[in-house]
Amino acid sequence: MYAMLIGVAALWGAATGLLVPRAAYRFSVEPEDAWRDTCPAGHALTGPGRGWLGSTRCTTCAEVGAAIAVHTATGPGAAQPEPDAEADPETDTGTVTATDAAGTTPRGGGPRYAPSLLVPVASTLGCAAVAATTGARPELAVWLLLAPVAVLLAAIDRRVHRLPDELTLPAAGAAAALLGIAVLLPEHGGSWLSALLGGAALGAFYFLLFLINPTGMGFGDVKLALSLGVALGWYGWAVVFAGGFAGFLFGAAYGLALMIMRGAGRKTGIPFGPFMIAGALVGIFLGGLTA
């Protein structure tokens, strides 16, 4: 039964992780810009939810690229189209494009909106680890439901250094509401009141950091701290401290590595959201094991 629980959680992580890259591509815009409705080549996104779900490759790009390949392969004396070495920074590096009468169209199946392997692998391992440490307690369902949002936020922040309000604020409300339901079920391992206080405390702490150094701490991090504090607070104040400290530790280690390997300065901006989420994950591991 225990192994089956971990397996189901891993499958959930893999399935939801496959949906993240396309959504991350659409959300990865500047605050004043609208969500993306086209692929990097300018083709309208298609699929359920106006393109929120589906493949990480553009269908139109793939069809046009296939047509060009057939034409150049079968046409008498046809020459291969000249590749354009420019790759869109928001797609996989190394994407090659070719130009036809309709404009610039990618070859090789079209550009990927985001790396399609790392995200599902990370989501799968994270969900499996949460299931292994939490067990069959009611809060496991809450962690699994929140996991895709956390992975999506980490992917967006890594790409454009921002955490959209459309995700951070609903995540905080959902975490509080779902844990409010979990506390009504038998064999739960936490406290709803502690979760609410944890969210308020961690959010207030990050807000203080934002006031002290607005250029070093984004307000999106403050909003993300609300939901992470709720999740960590479920298991008590020790877990809130451990998860919060782990996030700063991961961020500091990454910043130090950048300084050593790439010569980055102390004021070089880094996306802090992924490290906050990773630290919260460590805290949930500890809370699940000790609950």
Band of the pLDDT at 154, cuts 50, 70, 90? very high
| The token pair that represents 220 in the structure block | 């999106």
Q: What is the pLDDT of residues 34-61, one digit of tens each?
A: 888 887 777 777 665 557 777 767 777 7
Residues 174 and 97 in one domain: no
Shared domain for 105 and 177, answered yes or no, is no
> Which two structure tokens, joined as six digits, stand for 23?
């959504």
Residue finishing a domain among 73, 97, 115:
115
Res. 258 pLDDT band, cuts 50 70 90: confident
Query: What total number of domains does the chain contain?
Result: 2
Written as six digits, the tokens of 140 are: 């496991």
Do 40 and 110 sit in the same domain of this protein? yes
- Examine the domain organization and report whether 47 and 128 are in the same domain: no
Of 80, 96, 115, which residue is a domain's last? 115
pLDDT for res 265? 66
Percent of the chain topping pLDDT 70: 77
Going from the C-alpha of 216 to that of each of 25, 134, 190, 206, the distances in angstroms are 25, 34, 33, 11
Q: Is the pLDDT of residue 212 over 60?
A: yes
Closest CA to 45 of 99, 119, 111: 111
Residue numbers of the domain that contains 280:
117-290
Residue 63, in any domain of the structure: yes
Could you tell me the CA-to-CA distances from 71 to 57, 75, 78, 80, 103 in Å, in that order?
22, 6, 8, 10, 16
Q: What is the pLDDT of residue 67?
A: 58
Q: What is the mean pLDDT of the chain?
A: 82
| Other Cβ atoms within 10 Å of 279 Cβ, number | 22
Give the Å distances, CA to CA, from 94 to 42, 60, 83.
Answer: 18, 19, 11
- Only one residue has tokens 């609300």, namely 226
* C-beta separation of 38 from 141 below 8 A: no
CA dihedral for 91, 93, 94, 99, sign (positive or negative) = positive
Question: Is residue 147 domain-shared with residue 267, that is, in the same domain?
Answer: yes
66, 83, 115 — which closes off a domain? 115
Q: Would you say residue 1 lies in a domain?
A: no
139 lies in the same domain as 69 = no
Quick check: 264 pLDDT over 80? no
Three-state secondary-structure class, residue 161:
coil
